[in-house]
Amino acid sequence: MNQRVANIFGIAALILAAIGLLAPTAAANPPPVSLAPGVQCTGLICRNDNNQTYRIDWIATCAYPDAVTIPVPAQTWIGSHEQTFQDVANCPLEWGSGQPATGGVASAQYIRAVPDSSQPPAPAFPPTGSAG
């Protein structure tokens, strides 16, 4: 009986260890969010497989020193057959009491993508072309 109980606890420990190893990987790689046919975002990278420019409406969670985070409404224009990276440029340089601080986009909540060529698209990611 004691051997059987030990085996059960051993198997349970192995299962819990496997779940613990896989959970951080799953959390680090969120599933893609499809915003429109041919437009999807994963983490902080969006991709447009269409022949026109799209505007992506989203909310950035900006992280600052001392663990301060704030939500910031944002828009990104993504060119035809390109991908973009949502970065620090979307976070304000001041927060709270108006103290200057550099923040970065920690996460993104995507709302929608609509065809819109009223603004120039964001720079492609990774950058295209050559320097020189």
Task: Assess whether 50 and 111 both reside in one domain.
Answer: yes
Range of the domain at 94: 31-127
Clarify whether residues 24 and 63 are in a common domain: no
Number of domains into which the chain is organized? 2
Q: How far is CA 54 from CA 37, 69, 81, in A?
A: 11, 28, 10
SS3 content of the chain, % helix, strand, coil (to 5): 25, 40, 35
Query: Do 17 and 60 belong together in one domain?
Result: no
Please answer whether residues 43 and 108 qualify as being in contact, where contact means their C-beta atoms are separated by less than 8 angstroms.
yes
Average pLDDT, the chain: 77
What's this model's pTM, rounded to 2 decimal places? 0.68
pLDDT, residue 86, reads 83
Q: What is the pLDDT of residues 81-103, one digit of tens each?
A: 999 998 766 788 866 666 677 78
Could you report the per-residue pLDDT of 8-43, keeping only the tens digit for each?
444 444 344 444 444 444 445 678 899 999 999 999
Give yes or no: residues 64 and 114 share one domain.
Answer: yes
